[in-house]
Amino acid sequence: MDLGRAFSFVFEDEQWVKKLLIGGLISIVPILNFAAIGYALRALRNVAADQPRPLPEWDDLGGDWARGLATAVAGFVYALPLIVLFVPVVVIAVLAGEDGSKAGEGLAMVATWCVALPYGLLLSAWLTAAVARYAVDGDFGAFFRFGEIWGLIRRNAGNFVIALLVYLVVAQVASMVGAMALCLGAAFTGFWSTLLWAHLFGQVVLADRGRQAPTPAL
């Protein structure tokens, strides 16, 4: 895995300033910000196709928005077990508050987090692979082709873990750096870290021995 290229590829594009500015601005606009996710998915797909300049043009805003919305919907579907789990906890907390008892509320919260934390960690890895498959395949069903998703993780476990850890660390640092430049700065550093994520997992897909054929650039 070429970590250095993942950090630098944005700046190798001749129009990187314009593309980063557009992405940063779009990412802070509610609803429209789905397009920033879809744009990153196109970048991932181009990396997976081994394109020398994988940063796309901003020429498919509607398609990017639709891809970003599809990703958000799939994330919601995967999060449903957690949502369902927290519903009884809220009910217990309300009832405990009315009765003046905190023991039941505390026990319910501890039991819930014992399930929620491991599920959340596994979900972050699984959903990342699912999104990568969707970026390459282009159809919503790719989010739920469990065999293909598991195969991508299993065949590339080392690179997958490295990519995930690098992204998580960099995203935190980028968030802190952006916060120093107020909200607008955080939008640009956040969008850049999303593109870093796209390149890292585009490399994972590219290296995957289970790929059937090269993916054409968008």
pLDDT tens per residue, range 167-200:
988 888 877 776 665 555 677 888 999 999 999 9
Note every long-range contact of 35-38, with CB atoms under 8 Å and residues 24 or more positions apart, other chains counting. 35/61, 35/64, 35/65, 35/68, 36/64, 36/68, 36/191, 36/194, 37/64, 37/67, 37/68, 37/71, 37/72, 37/194, 38/63, 38/64, 38/65, 38/66, 38/67, 38/68, 38/69, 38/71
Domain ranges of the chain: 3-75+127-207
| Helices first, then strands: H and E counts in the chain | 8, 0
Helix (H, G, I), strand (E, B) or coil at 101: coil
DSSP label of 144: G
Please give the average per-residue pLDDT across 119-143, as a whole number. 91
pLDDT band at 124 (very low <50, low <70, confident <90, very high): confident
Predicted structure pTM score: 0.83
How do residues 44-79 score in pLDDT, each as one tens digit?
Answer: 999 999 998 999 999 999 999 999 999 999 999 998
∠ CA 79-84-86, rounded to 5° = 100
Place of tokens 């491991």: 118
In the predicted structure, residue 109 carries a pLDDT above the cut 80 = no
In the predicted structure, residue 1 carries a pLDDT above the cut 60 = yes
